[in-house]
């Protein structure tokens, strides 16, 4: 956490300048699906209050929940002290994937609105691997990383965050987990390709969902776009198509989407 953010949070806590208002919406996923750009879009709206940093990582921090419910003042301290006229929300794409997060969010606010942007899982998997390579945390070639993914996640603490290239792309089970807790009318699932193609229309869909005024123009943002170590090969893509074939069909049934473009 940047020093400036830590100082703001600490000052609000010690000076009792922490809003009692509950956070009312969260962008919970998916990783590598444009959530950084979406965070910046949402910060433009005067009716929304976003935290001092993009990813608060509150509900995926097991240490905070080790002894039951945490002190939510520490969560609220990331926000401006006076949010009474605005909706509070934040973006942390790990929440959709990690199974403990949604029950914690529901206990905090059962009226929470949950938003997720879904990217073609084939593209998402390779983009995730590429990110970890650039960070210096992944030494394995992509095919080997896929082959060893399940074992790495099972036997290495924290690997579910770093190396879950394929596993994160099984969106249907994550969506069903959300719907077990939150009514469908409190959830909004969007397509990454549509966010890229027409950010104004996609972001205005979120504004309507949240009940705030639409904005006339949303300039396209290209953030956290890293050059690829190498382009995904035809064989790698075919392997991922085979892995995700049934999953894409499940998503079409769940969400009523036509995802033929994800099979290309």
Residue 224 pLDDT: 57
Distance of CA 97 to the CA centre of its chain: 8
Each residue of 114-166: pLDDT tens digit? 999 999 999 999 999 999 999 999 999 999 999 999 999 988 767 678 999 99
pLDDT (average), residues 154-182: 92
What is the rounded CA–CA span in Å between residue 204 and residue 213? 8
List Cα–Cα distances, 188 to 41, 68, 83, 214, 233, in angstroms.
16, 29, 23, 16, 33
Residue 102 near residue 19 (C-beta atoms within 8 A) = no
Residue 62 belongs to a domain: yes
Count the domains in the chain.
1
Question: 92 is in which domain, residue-wise?
Answer: 3-257
Residue 222 pLDDT: 64
Residue 12 belongs to a domain: yes
Residue 120 belongs to a domain: yes
Residue 262 belongs to a domain: no
Residue 2 pLDDT: 63
Residue 156 pLDDT: 72
Structure confidence at residue 223 as a pLDDT band (50, 70, 90) = low
Tell me the β-bridge partners of 118.
Answer: 191
Residue 1 pLDDT: 55
Cis-peptide, bond into residue 7, ω within 30° of zero: no
Each residue of 182-211: pLDDT tens digit? 999 999 999 999 999 999 999 999 999 999
- At residue 190, φ and ψ (nearest 5 deg) are -125, 160
What is the rounded CA–CA span in Å between residue 228 and residue 249? 28
Closest residue by Cα to residue 164 from 139, 131, 129:
129
For the chain, give the mean pLDDT.
93
Each residue of 55-68: pLDDT tens digit? 999 999 999 999 99
HEC string of the chain?
A: CCHHHHHHHHHHHHCCCCCCCCCCEEEEECCCCCHHHHHHHHHCCCCEECCCCCCCCCCCCHHHHCCCCCCCHHHHCCCCCCCCCCEEEEECCHHHHCCCHHHHHHHHCCCCEEEEEECCHHHHHHHHHHHHHHCCCCCCCHHHHHHHHHHHHHHCCCHHHHCCCCHHHCHHHHHHHHHCCCCHHHEEEEEHHHHHHCHHHHHHHHHHHHCCCCCCCCCCCCCCCCCCCCCCCHHHHHHHHHHHHHHHHHHHHHHCCCCHHHHC
What is the rounded CA–CA span in Å between residue 237 and residue 125? 10
What is the rounded CA–CA span in Å between residue 208 and residue 68? 35
pTM over 0.75: yes
Residue 264 belongs to a domain: no
Residue 263 belongs to a domain: no
Question: Which CATH number belongs to the domain containing residue 252 in this structure?
Answer: 3.40.50.300
Q: Beta-carbon neighbour count of residue 52 at 10 Å?
A: 19
Residue 86 pLDDT: 95
Residue 112 belongs to a domain: yes
């Amino acid at each position: 956490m940047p020093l400036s953010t830590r100082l703001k949070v600490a000052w609000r806590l010690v000076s009792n300048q922490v809003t009692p208002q509950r956070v009312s919406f969260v962008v919970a996923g998916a990783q590598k699906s444009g959530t950084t750009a979406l965070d910046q879009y949402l910060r433009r709206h005067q009716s929304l209050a976003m935290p001092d940093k993009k990813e608060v990582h509150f509900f995926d921090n097991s240490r905070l929940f080790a002894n039951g419910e945490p002190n939510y003042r520490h969560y609220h301290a990331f926000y401006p002290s006076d949010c009474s006229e605005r909706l509070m929300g934040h973006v942390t794409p790990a929440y959709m994937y990690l199974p403990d997060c949604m029950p914690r969010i529901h206990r905090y606010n059962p009226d929470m609105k949950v938003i997720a942007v879904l990217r073609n899982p084939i593209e998402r998997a390779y983009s995730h691997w590429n990110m970890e390579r650039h960070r210096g945390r992944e030494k394995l070639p992509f095919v080997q990383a896929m082959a060893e993914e399940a074992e790495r996640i099972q036997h290495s603490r924290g690997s579910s965050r770093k190396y879950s290239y394929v596993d994160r792309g099984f969106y249907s089970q994550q969506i069903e987990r959300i719907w077990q807790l939150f009514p469908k009318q409190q959830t909004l699932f969007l397509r990454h390709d549509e966010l890229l193609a027409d950010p104004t229309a996609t972001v205005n869909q979120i504004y309507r969902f949240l009940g705030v005024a639409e904005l006339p123009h949303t300039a396209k943002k290209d953030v956290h776009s890293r050059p690829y170590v190498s382009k995904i090969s035809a064989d790698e893509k075919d392997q991922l198509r085979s892995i995700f074939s049934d999953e894409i069909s499940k998503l079409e049934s769940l969400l009523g989407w036509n995802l033929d473009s994800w099979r290309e």
